[in-house]
A = this chain, B = another copy of it.
C-alpha cells in the first residue's frame, strides 16, 4: 500500500487551500488530514477526527490535487474494474459487490468496459497504469489467443512494477484470482437434466475463444460422459453472449438436431433468447417439449416466461473478494465460493416419445 506521507502540493491557481491549512483549521496533524482526505495508510482515523477534517476541508474549499499526490505517492485511491459489457447483469453484480467492499476501504471503483475487445482491455490496463491506479480487477473472461494473452501479461507486469495490485475474477492465468466454479456449475445443470430423463441435450454457448465458455462447456461434457451420455460437437452452437445470439443459436441447434429435449444456455441473457426461439419462433412448449437451463442467475431470470432454472454463481461476493485480494484484507484460507442450481419452471421431465 502506498506510503501516506503528507504531500507537498504542486502550484495551483492563486489562493489554493493547502493540506496544511486544512489540518490547522481542524486542529489535527497533517498526516491525519492526509489520511482522511487522501486515503491510504494502514492506521484508521476515528469518526470524530474524520468529521472535523472533512468539515474543515469543506469550509475552506480544499481540493486534493490527485496528479501531484500520485507523483508523490505513486498511487491514487482509484481501483479500476475492467468488464466486458456493462449491459450484462453478470458484470453489474460483480461491480456491485466490488463497490461495497471498496467503500469500506474508502477506495473509488472506476468501471471500464471493453465490449469483449481484447485490444481495448490492454489499452485500459495501460491507461490505468499511466494514471497510477492503485489496483486493477479483471472481471471479464480471458481468451485462448496466445499473443493477446502475452501482451496483456506484459502490461499487467508493468502495472505491478509500479506498485499496483491485480486480481482476476475467475481463473485466467493473469494473476491471483477469485476462482469461479464454471465447470462445476455446468456439471450440476447437466446432471439435473439427466436426472429428469433427458438424453439428447444441446448447448447454446458464448464465443468459443473465451476461457469461461470453454470451462462451462467442459464441465457439462464431462458430467454427461460420467453419466454414460455424450455431448458431441454437433449439439453445441457458439454465438454472442447476448439475447440475439442465444435466439439464433437455438434456432440453428434445433434445426440441426430437432430431437433435442433440453438446451443448456451458457448464460442467462442467451437463455432469454433461447426461450423466445423455442416458444415464439418454433411454437414449442417449455418445459413440455424442451427444457431450458441458464447460467448466472441474474435478477431477471425469475421473471422470464417460464421462470428460468439456472446455475447460481455468487457474483457479488466474488466482486467483494477481488477487492479484498488487492487490499490484503482477505483471510488466508477462504473456502471457495459455492455454486448452486436454482430450479424454477423452465425444466421438467423429458417428454415420452
Q: A67-B67, A112-B109 are in contact. Are A243 and B96 (CB under 8 A)?
A: no
Number of copies: 2
Bound-state Cα–Cα, A306 to B10, Å: 60
Bound-state Cα–Cα, A289 to B244, Å: 32
**Is A92 in the interface zone, CB < 8 Å from B?**
yes
Query: How many A residues touch B, CB cutoff 8 Å?
Result: 52
Bound-state Cα–Cα, A179 to B245, Å: 33
* Residues of chain B contacted by A67 (CB below 8 angstroms): 66-68, 70-71, 131-132
**Is A26 in the interface zone, CB < 8 Å from B?**
no
> Is B65 within 8 A of A130, CB to CB?
yes
> Is A130 within 8 A of B63, CB to CB?
yes
Q: Give A159-205 interface residues, CB cut-off 8 Å to B.
A: 161
**Is A276 in the interface zone, CB < 8 Å from B?**
yes
* Residues of chain B contacted by A303 (CB below 8 angstroms): 243, 272, 275-276, 300, 303-305
> Is B130 within 8 A of A87, CB to CB?
no
Minimum Cβ distance to chain B for residue A322 (Å): 15
Bound-state Cα–Cα, A275 to B68, Å: 53
Minimum Cβ distance to chain B for residue A190 (Å): 24
* Residues of chain B contacted by A63 (CB below 8 angstroms): 126, 129-130, 158
* Residues of chain B contacted by A61 (CB below 8 angstroms): 154, 158
**Is A352 in the interface zone, CB < 8 Å from B?**
no
Task: Please tell me which one of the listed residues B64, B71, B112, B306 contacts residue A68 in the complex, with CB atoms under 8 A apart.
Answer: B71
9 closest A-B pairs by CB: A66-B130, A110-B110, A67-B70, A87-B92, A111-B111, A67-B67, A300-B300, A66-B131, A305-B305
Give A residues with C-beta under 8 Å from B.
10, 13, 61, 63-71, 76-78, 80, 86-87, 89, 92-93, 95-96, 99, 108-113, 115, 124, 126-127, 129-132, 154, 158, 161, 243, 272, 275-276, 299-300, 302-306
